[in-house]
Structure 1
Amino acid sequence: MKGCLGYILTLCSWVLRLFYSVRRLWSPEALACDILPKLHSRESTLAKHLVRRRGLLNRPFRPPFLLRGPFVQTLLGLFCPPLGDLNFEREYLHVDKGIVALDWYTEPDSKLRRNSPILLVFPRLTGDALSVGGLCRLANKRGFRPVVFNRRGHGMSFLTTPKLTSTGDPNDAREVIGYIFEKYPYVPLVGVGVGAGCATLFSYLGESGSSSQLKAAVCISPSYDNTIKLCEQIPKFYELIVLVQLKAMLIVYWKVLHKVIDLKAVILKCWTLKEFDFHVYCKMYGIATFDTFWQRNDPMRDVDDIAVPVLCVNSVDDPVSVHENIPLDVFRYYPNLLLVTLAAGGHCSFHENVTGDSWANGTALTFIEGVLEFISNSRYWYK
């Protein structure tokens, strides 16, 4: 009897040891892996300020091991909006005979000041306010007044003219920025672009040059080479998901759009983004060839004229904005353009958990806070 009891106690001891060993192995601390950010930039006073004083590179990206893969991260960015309540108040603005929607993030317990900086967010290609809700919520907690810019027909807004705005066309964005600047003339205005939204932000900054009304900008997972090469590199599963979402938008506005495009042909026959752009945006803008369309919509076409501090955040494993297309020489030449790369993070994601907390969001706000502080303390920030 005593021998059986001893065997039972020994077995229980081994079971407990195994349980605690497995628990330690699968704990968040054990599954997480630190991924250190790397800065690519020309040496400047601004870069030193951001790294040394603001700690731009201090916080590593720490995703759980199971969420580290590029496709897992990319799918999280597409289908996993942040948890919790997200409150937005919509405002419609008339621009060039059309309508765009602005979604202002509101929080009942928010303690914003009259001069709190305004954060203008440009969502990804098929994104809306909900898709960038995590960024807006975090920005609100850190003293910003976030507002999301929805391009014509996007974000379930109205479409009053038979024209959708391409990502490389900054005309509507310029009208929106001018409107916000007039409404809050003494408040700093900054911008954050996500995915394809970076093309709109880059285009505005390049065309505006030194007259830009944005004080700083951040581009999360931008694509620098929007040509046929980019279309060929996009993973098919991601391309199909985006195409289905874009076609669903066309169906919603078919009464307006059927006047300028062949909706039946687009929905049934266009199964690549190149074909979609040619049959939709080229027709709307009256452009004959796809190459001409992308030359006019290339986000880097006026990069030489960008005059405000810009931070780009890219992951090396991004399956959409592949790292071979990152123009490292641009960031090493211009002191106001900075690039942070990570070994992992996917496309428009950088999720550190499944609840939607993104490393890139915190880094973007840290950069903007540092730039605004630097500008306020320096007469000539670009030295």
Structure 2
Amino acid sequence: MEESVVVLLPGLALLFLGLLLRLFRLRVAAAVGRLGAVIWRQLGARLHFPLDHSERPQLISKPSALARYLLQHCGSLARPSLVPWPWSDPHIQTLHSQAWPVGDSSGEVSFARDLLELRDGGVVALDWAVATPRDQGKPRAPSATPSILIVVPNCWGGLTLHVLRLCRLALAQGFYPVVFHRRGQGGCPLVTPALQQFGDPADLIEAVSYIRCRHPSSALVAVSEGSGAGLLLSYLGECGSSSYLKAAVCLSPIFHGQLWFETPLPPPYRWALLIYQKLQLSRYATTLSSVMDVEAALRCSSLRDFEEALFCSKGTGKAGGTEQPAPLDWEGYWEKNEPLRDVDEVAVPVLCLSSWDDPLRGDPRTSLPFDLFRSSPYFLLVLTGCGGHCGLGAGGRGEPCWSHAATLEYFRVVGEFLRAEERGGLGGGGLLPRRRTSTQLPRRRRGTVLRRDRTTPTTAPPTDQPDLPDLFQWHRSYTR
């Protein structure tokens, strides 16, 4: 017996030593992680980054039948996907979703492009997501009338990894995504000396009408990314009950445009956005020099000065297809472009997903319109404790993003709710006033008739689509 114990002693000693080393490594790793988090927070404080918030996600809305229905049937909103540090850091989430290279196979999607000529001769691009590389050549399940998901990127025009992953997940769940690109952005040519103002929905109105003509039997829903919410919210307010959309989602939205431009961003983000926009502007410097002072814009050192130089300087007569009698001053510009200027006219349910620690939005106590969510039955806010700007649960190894899953589930649940309401299956409570819940083809208001002088489109519509009215000129090309 004693000899057996002696023989086992070396093995037991090695096992005990291994356990000690493993425990030591775990403690060292935990200590290094805590030290890294402390250093990162101190660096963020030095650079005036907002700190994360400890509160759990919450739904802020006016009590309504839709809010109750979402809490009962939309599980993603109640169970947000939290990721561990360092991926949960708001700045890593922001950089990963907005600045990460889009060429990796985890987020790449193939697109077919429509170039849509507008009433004033300008051109916008519609990128239809058709397949992921690994799905090409595989038969897809037949779907007669898939829901069309209109994606409005941020106002700087970059096609981010966040948008690509959303399109990929939407394709997998049976949606038909299409990305709207403004004039001169996303590879769309700038054929007229006019850029689109921050909240001018004229181009988007024409694009949505064109999509409706191509797919009259499909439900239309829309999602915006970051500052793209300024355009989507302006569209919903401008069209009101005549909007073709059934529902909308805003991911990390910018609600108060003027306040956002007047509040300085942390220096790394401010300079990154300025340099990117100046590079885009320099491509069209010759064309735009006739309507704006391009040299003054390229010398700007703040986002406010840059926006003011583009749209409030000498000779700005057109922007986004809208005629202006005279150049606008800064206050007049925001009277026309503030995202919430016509918020009382919004007539479709809008879900906003945001986080306390968004480094681009600013202080949530002043940048989020809490009174709007508590008073309007059309607006719902899901506020998470962490997530950065448009990250909202994105992991670092290709894991599905929580905000994407929540967005698509929300559209499905809202569709079920509206169908049940039309059948009178919700006990007569209803979501909203009956005058605003019609799902028939709406009547346009505010003079948005889109007839053109030309008599034939440059390219015939697809054979499986009904004949299009004489409204649009379009051309298809293939990208990516």
Asked if these proteins are the same fold (TM beyond 0.5), I'd say: yes
Distance verdict in 2 for CA 1:88–1:64, change over 3 Å: same
Residue among 366, 370, 377 paired with 2:409: 366
Hey, what's the Cα distance between the residues in 2 that align with 1:236 and 1:73?
Answer: 18
1:366, distance to aligned residue in structure 2 (A): 1.3
Q: Given that residues 81 and 133 in structure 1 are in contact (C-alpha distance below 8 angstroms), is that contact kept between their aligned partners in structure 2?
A: no
Alignment correspondent of 1:104: 128
Q: Deviations over 1:65-107 (max 9, x none)?
A: 2122222222222212564232111110001310001111011
Alignment correspondent of 1:135: 166
Which secondary structure does the structure 2 equivalent of 1:160 belong to? coil
Task: Using the TM superposition, name which of 144-153 and 327-336 deviates more.
Answer: 327-336
Hey, what's the Cα distance between the residues in 2 that align with 1:66 and 1:180?
Answer: 41
The within-5 A match list for 1:51-62 is: 51-62=71-82
Given the alignment of the two structures, is residue 196 of structure 1 paired with residue 227 of structure 2, yes or no? yes
Question: Scaled by the length of structure 2, what TM-score is found?
Answer: 0.73
Distance verdict in 2 for CA 1:214–1:340, change over 3 Å: same
Alignment correspondent of 1:68: 88
Q: Given that residues 237 and 342 in structure 2 are in contact (C-alpha distance below 8 angstroms), is that contact kept between their aligned partners in structure 1?
A: yes
Distance verdict in 2 for CA 1:95–1:21, change over 3 Å: same
Distance verdict in 2 for CA 1:355–1:264, change over 3 Å: farther
Alignment correspondent of 1:50: 70
Residue among 21, 36, 42 paired with 1:15: 21
The within-5 A match list for 1:264-303 is: 264-267=295-298, 269-283=299-313, 284=316, 285=318, 286-303=326-343
Question: Scaled by the length of structure 1, what TM-score is found?
Answer: 0.90
The within-5 A match list for 1:169-184 is: 169-184=200-215
Alignment correspondent of 1:375: 418
The within-5 A match list for 1:1-383 is: 8=14, 10-18=16-24, 36-80=56-100, 83-84=104-105, 85-96=108-119, 97-107=121-131, 108=136, 109=138, 110-111=140-141, 113-131=143-161, 132-228=163-259, 230-267=261-298, 269-283=299-313, 284=316, 285=318, 286-322=326-362, 323-324=364-365, 325-355=367-397, 357-379=400-422, 380-382=430-432
Which secondary structure does the structure 2 equivalent of 1:65 belong to? coil
Hey, what's the Cα distance between the residues in 1 that align with 2:166 and 2:147?
Answer: 14
Q: Which amino acid counterpart does residue 143 of structure 1 have in structure 2?
A: G
**Unaligned 5+ residue runs, structure 1?**
none
Hey, what's the Cα distance between the residues in 2 that align with 1:361 and 1:346?
Answer: 15
Which secondary structure does the structure 2 equivalent of 1:119 belong to? strand
Distance verdict in 2 for CA 1:145–1:25, change over 3 Å: farther
Which secondary structure does the structure 1 equivalent of 2:86 belong to? helix
Distance verdict in 2 for CA 1:60–1:168, change over 3 Å: same
Q: Which amino acid counterpart does residue 310 of structure 1 have in structure 2?
A: V
| Cα root mean square deviation, aligned | 2.7
Which secondary structure does the structure 2 equivalent of 1:216 belong to? strand
Q: Which amino acid counterpart does residue 237 of structure 1 have in structure 2?
A: P
Hey, what's the Cα distance between the residues in 1 that align with 2:23 and 2:297?
Answer: 61
Hey, what's the Cα distance between the residues in 2 that align with 1:258 and 1:111?
Answer: 50
1:37, distance to aligned residue in structure 2 (A): 2.2
Structure with greater proportional helix content: 1
Which secondary structure does the structure 2 equivalent of 1:378 belong to? helix
Q: Which amino acid counterpart does residue 104 of structure 1 have in structure 2?
A: W
Q: Given that residues 209 and 306 in structure 1 are in contact (C-alpha distance below 8 angstroms), is that contact kept between their aligned partners in structure 2?
A: yes
Q: Given that residues 233 and 320 in structure 1 are in contact (C-alpha distance below 8 angstroms), is that contact kept between their aligned partners in structure 2?
A: no
Task: Using the TM superposition, name which of 195-204 and 236-245 deviates more.
Answer: 236-245
Which secondary structure does the structure 2 equivalent of 1:67 belong to? coil
1:203, distance to aligned residue in structure 2 (A): 0.3
Distance verdict in 2 for CA 1:327–1:17, change over 3 Å: closer
Distance verdict in 2 for CA 1:47–1:9, change over 3 Å: closer
Q: Which amino acid counterpart does residue 376 of structure 2 have in structure 1?
A: Y
Q: Deviations over 1:152-189 (max 9, x none)?
A: 01101100011110220000000000000011111000
Q: Given that residues 121 and 149 in structure 1 are in contact (C-alpha distance below 8 angstroms), is that contact kept between their aligned partners in structure 2?
A: yes
Task: Answer with 1 or 2: which has the greater Rg.
Answer: 2
Q: Given that residues 36 and 61 in structure 1 are in contact (C-alpha distance below 8 angstroms), is that contact kept between their aligned partners in structure 2?
A: no
Hey, what's the Cα distance between the residues in 2 that align with 1:79 and 1:171?
Answer: 29
1:319, distance to aligned residue in structure 2 (A): 1.9
Task: Using the TM superposition, name which of 336-345 and 226-235 deviates more.
Answer: 226-235
Task: Using the TM superposition, name which of 160-169 and 103-112 deviates more.
Answer: 103-112
Distance verdict in 2 for CA 1:270–1:11, change over 3 Å: same
1:25, distance to aligned residue in structure 2 (A): 9.9
Which secondary structure does the structure 1 equivalent of 2:312 belong to? helix
State the number of aligned residues.
378
